[in-house]
Amino acid sequence: MTVKWTLVLLFATGIMASPGFAQGLRPLCPERPGLGTTPCIVDKGHVLAELGLADWTRDKDEATKSDTLIAGDLLMRYGLDAVSEVQVGWTAYGHQRNKDIPSRLIDKSSGVGDILIGYKRSLSESEGSGFSAAIKLSATLPAGESAIGAGDWAAGLIVPVSVDIGAGLSLAVTPEIDANVDEDRDGRHLSYGTVAGLGVDLSKSINAAFEVSAFRDDDPSGHTTELLAAASLAWQASDNCQLDAGSAFGLNADSPDVRVYAGISRRF
């Protein structure tokens, strides 16, 4: 077993085994699952670790069929103070399989992902209750391999906003603007869009979310507009641990056909 997978397995075991200590802490608020981003902030001095166990995406058109599998997608969030946090993310494994339909030729590649660093600051209600808003800055460093690595640095700005509307319902909007890496892996271009969603508390420990997203990507090789519809489910197994699963479906030709994923989050 490689070192990277040993670390991932040890981390996942630690998530389940760590004792609870939620007295006096804010409600648990992972950024996963879903397409959007929560505006809440991790408690000062604490770490919220979010691990994507498996994430599979399929995209097919008349000429090609592409399958991408990502595992061990880890995001670590650390609370600096009552209103701000820092983030570090890394993906342990990614595998891509591309099939040229006319020739039936198959190309496969795999490797680790890039490194993400981020900073999020609350603008209103850092616990995520009532009307809550934040601003998040992030950058991606080209540490990954060609399967899932971008090949150059990228940067983004997100302004997540949420509001409780009563009866266990909440609305969320996540506008975003990015400097994404060009398809040829050299240079950057503008990408922008937003995610809008409805959160539903099914019980004290189970929450569902229904979202739609629209993103414009101005890559020099061709401009595209991606439209997605998504649904996700999160179960808070304890005050410090959450399990989740979700799916997304493309609504136009520029979008991946289907995505299915599952993960776990743990506060330390």
Domains of the chain: 3-267 (2.40.160.40)
Burial of 194 (0-12, 13-18, 19+ CB in 10 A): middle
Is 118 a residue whose pLDDT tops 50?
Answer: yes
Is 248 a residue whose pLDDT tops 70?
Answer: yes
Query: Residue 53: which pLDDT band, with cuts at 50, 70 and 90?
Result: very high
Summarised one tens digit per residue, pLDDT across range 120-154 is 999 998 887 889 999 999 999 999 888 899 999 99
pLDDT value, residue 6: 45
CB 109 within 8 A of CB 95: yes
Is 10 a residue whose pLDDT tops 90?
Answer: no
Q: Tell me the C-alpha distance between 24 and 164, whole Å.
A: 22
Burial of 222 (0-12, 13-18, 19+ CB in 10 A): exposed
pLDDT value, residue 86: 98
Percent of the chain with pLDDT over 70: 91
**Residue-by-residue DSSP string for 23-37:** TTPPPP--S-SSSS-
pLDDT value, residue 165: 94
Is 2 a residue whose pLDDT tops 80?
Answer: no
pLDDT value, residue 147: 84
Is 198 a residue whose pLDDT tops 80?
Answer: yes
Query: Residue 23: which pLDDT band, with cuts at 50, 70 and 90?
Result: low
Mean pLDDT score of the chain:
91
Over range 159-177, report the average pLDDT: 96
Least-confidence region, from 15-24, 50-59, 199-208 = 15-24
Query: Residue 22: which pLDDT band, with cuts at 50, 70 and 90?
Result: low
pLDDT value, residue 13: 46
What's the distance, CA 210 to chain centroid? 15
Query: Residue 69: which pLDDT band, with cuts at 50, 70 and 90?
Result: very high
Over range 78-89, report the average pLDDT: 97
Residues 129, 11, 72, 42: what is their CA dihedral angle, to the nearest 10 degrees? 20
Q: Tell me the C-alpha distance between 193 and 166, whole Å.
A: 27
Residue with tokens 């997304």: 248
